[in-house]
Amino acid sequence: MQRYYDCPQVLRDFLIYHETIKGQSSLTISEYYLDLRMFFRFMMLMRNDMPIHTRLDDIPIKDIDLDFIRSITTSDIFDFLSYLANDRTSNPDAAVPDYGITPASRARKLSALKSFYKYLTVRTKQLTENPVADLEYPKLRKSLPKYLTLEQSASLLKAVSGPNEKRDYAILMIFLNCGIRRSELVGLNLTDVYDDRLRVVGKGNKERFVYFGTPCRKAIDAYLSERNKKVLSDNRALFGSRNGNRISTDAVHALVKKALLQAGLDASQFSAHKLRHTAATMMLSGGVDVKTVQEVLGHENLNTTQIYTHIENTELKIAAEANPLSKIDFSED
pLDDT at 303: 59
Residue of 12, 146, 217, 299 marked active site? 299
Catalytic residue among 22, 199, 273, 274: 273
273 is catalytic: yes
Give the list of residues 6+ apart from residue 41 with CB closer than 8 angstroms, or none.
56, 57, 59, 61
Report which residue type is found at 228. Answer: N
> What's the whole-model pTM score?
0.56
Residue of 88, 181, 182, 246 marked catalytic: 181
Active site residue 317: no
Residue 64: how many CB atoms within 10 A of its CB? 19
Q: What is the pLDDT of residue 282?
A: 78
User: CB-hemisphere CA count at 13 Å for 62?
Assistant: 5
Q: Which three-class secondary structure state does DSSP give residue 305?
A: helix
Question: Could you read off the pLDDT tens digit of each residue along the chain, which spans 333 residues?
Answer: 556 777 899 999 999 999 888 888 787 888 899 999 999 999 998 888 776 677 888 899 999 999 999 999 999 999 999 989 888 876 666 666 677 888 888 888 999 999 999 999 999 999 999 999 988 887 766 655 678 888 999 999 999 999 999 999 999 999 988 888 888 999 999 999 999 899 998 877 788 888 888 999 999 999 999 999 999 999 999 999 988 999 999 999 999 999 999 999 888 888 888 888 888 877 777 777 767 767 777 776 665 566 555 555 544 444 444 445 444 454 454
pLDDT at 150: 87
For the question of residue 299 being annotated catalytic, the response is yes
Burial of 9 per CB tally in 10 Å (0-12, 13-18, 19+)? exposed
**Distance between CA atoms of residues 241 and 246, nearest Å:** 6
Residues paired with 207 in a beta bridge: 201
pLDDT value of residue 225: 94
The catalytically annotated residue of 12, 203, 253, 258 is: 203
Q: What is the pLDDT of residue 139?
A: 75
